[in-house]
């Protein structure tokens, strides 16, 4: 009996610990990549791109950039809450240690966006679908659903958006911040993939099934979020529709491939685009 238990649990348990060592490596990586809000080039370069032209044109452009900053501020404010929840729920020491860095990262991102918001004259419009998505994720039953939704899915797809913003805002504080967030969110994503593998190795069929069901509930709201534009970017939204749809489709398909690589049965996933 004892031998049986040993052979049954032994290799699995040590494999899990081995994979957790992988999660711990992201803790060390995150510590090395840490930066401070004061490291941004405040006062040396403009906060957002500057334009010449009529006062109306300048005001329109400012509103547009303010809406970009607002959306990212909203996302990082919510990320603080989600990272704190992951930190408090994760049962493994290695993951908990890693999440201490993610909570700090998201808080620091929020600090930078708040400062930038002040520099551009306050907040713009809030994305109601992002609020809904986060509410659903915070209320999810299992840690597996949360790690998948936040780190595996969302943290990856925000990266190309930061690259797009950085390209359009060269020589500004905004560009510098987006470049830093690309690095940080890359770590948030990869650490989540590593931890989700550990979690799903030991997960029951029921937990896996619930994850797929949660995906089907989240995806339609995610589509609304991805296609939503505040008034200040309505025109650009129409021009970008094709690019948005293409990126959205690729993001969802990539998410489904990742889910499959975790051994999830994705045949029941309904792609809403």
Minimum gap (Å) between residue 94 Cβ and Fe ion: 19
Q: CB nearest Fe ion: which residue? A: 109
- In this structure, what are the phi and psi dihedrals at residue 244, rounded to the nearest 5 degrees? -60, -45
Q: What is the DSSP-derived secondary structure letter of residue 265?
A: -
Distance of alpha carbon 17 from alpha carbon 19, whole angstroms: 5
Q: Do you know the residue count of the chain?
A: 273
Minimum gap (Å) between residue 146 Cβ and Fe ion: 14
Name the one range near Fe ion by CB under 5 A: 188-196, 221-229, 239-247, 262-270.
Answer: 188-196
Q: How far, CA to CA in Å, does 22 sit from each of 15, 38, 143?
A: 11, 31, 18
Name the one range near Fe ion by CB under 5 A: 73-81, 172-180, 210-218, 245-253.
Answer: 73-81
78 or 211: CB nearest Fe ion: 78
Give the largest CA-CA distance in the chain.
83
Q: Does 192 sit near Fe ion (CB under 5 A)?
A: no
Q: Are 245 and 226 in contact (CB under 8 A)?
A: no
Q: Are 117 and 183 in contact (CB under 8 A)?
A: no
Q: Does 76 sit near Fe ion (CB under 5 A)?
A: yes
171 torsion bin: left (phi>0), alpha (psi -120 to 50), beta (else): left
Distance of alpha carbon 246 from alpha carbon 84, whole angstroms: 32
Q: Return the sign of the alpha-carbon dihedral for residues 62, 68, 74, 76.
A: negative
76 or 196: CB nearest Fe ion: 76
Name the one range near Fe ion by CB under 5 A: 22-30, 35-43, 133-141, 179-187.
Answer: 179-187
144 or 184: CB nearest Fe ion: 184
Q: Does 109 sit near Fe ion (CB under 5 A)?
A: yes
Minimum gap (Å) between residue 174 Cβ and Fe ion: 14
Q: Does 229 sit near Fe ion (CB under 5 A)?
A: no
Minimum gap (Å) between residue 30 Cβ and Fe ion: 11
Q: What is the DSSP-derived secondary structure letter of residue 148?
A: I
Distance of alpha carbon 193 from alpha carbon 189, whole angstroms: 6
152 or 269: CB nearest Fe ion: 152
How many CB atoms lie under 10 A from the CB of residue 36?
9
Q: Does 30 sit near Fe ion (CB under 5 A)?
A: no
Q: Does 185 sit near Fe ion (CB under 5 A)?
A: yes
For the chain, helix, strand, coil in percent to 5 are 80, 0, 20
Minimum gap (Å) between residue 155 Cβ and Fe ion: 5
106 or 251: CB nearest Fe ion: 106
Q: How far, CA to CA in Å, does 59 sit from each of 33, 43, 240?
A: 36, 21, 21
How many positions of this chain bind Fe ion (CB under 5 A)? Answer: 6
Name the one range near Fe ion by CB under 5 A: 16-24, 104-112, 218-226, 254-262.
Answer: 104-112
Q: Does 176 sit near Fe ion (CB under 5 A)?
A: no
193 or 203: CB nearest Fe ion: 193
Minimum gap (Å) between residue 90 Cβ and Fe ion: 16
Positions in the binding site for Fe ion (CB under 5 A): 76, 79, 106, 109, 185, 188
């Amino acid at each position: 009996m004892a031998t049986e238990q040993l052979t049954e649990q032994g290799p699995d348990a040590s494999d899990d610990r081995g994979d957790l060592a992988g999660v711990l490596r992201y803790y060390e990586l995150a510590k090395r990549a840490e930066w401070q809000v004061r490291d941004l080039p405040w006062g040396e370069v403009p906060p957002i791109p500057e334009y010449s032209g009529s006062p109306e044109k300048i005001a329109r452009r400012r509103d547009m950039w303010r809406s970009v900053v607002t959306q990212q501020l909203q996302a990082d404010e919510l990320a603080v809450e989600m990272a704190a929840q992951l930190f408090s729920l994760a049962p493994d020491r290695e993951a908990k240690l890693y999440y201490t860095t993610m909570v700090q990262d998201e808080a620091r991102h929020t600090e930078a966006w708040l400062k930038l918001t002040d520099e551009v004259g306050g907040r713009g419009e809030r994305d109601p679908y992002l609020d809904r998505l986060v509410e659903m994720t915070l209320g999810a039953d299992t840690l597996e659903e949360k790690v998948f939704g936040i780190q595996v899915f969302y943290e990856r797809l925000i990266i190309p958006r930061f690259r797009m913003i950085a390209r359009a805002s060269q020589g500004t504080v905004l560009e510098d911040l987006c470049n830093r967030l690309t690095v940080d969110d890359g770590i948030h994503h990869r650490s989540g993939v590593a931890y989700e593998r550990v979690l799903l190795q030991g997960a029951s069929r029921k937990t896996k099934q619930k994850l797929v069901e949660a995906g089907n509930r989240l995806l339609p709201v995610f589509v609304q979020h991805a296609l939503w534009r505040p008034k200040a970017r309505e025109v650009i939204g129409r021009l970008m529709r094709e690019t948005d749809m293409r990126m959205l489709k690729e993001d969802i398909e990539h998410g489904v491939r990742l889910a499959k690589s975790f051994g999830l049965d994705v045949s029941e996933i309904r792609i809403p685009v």
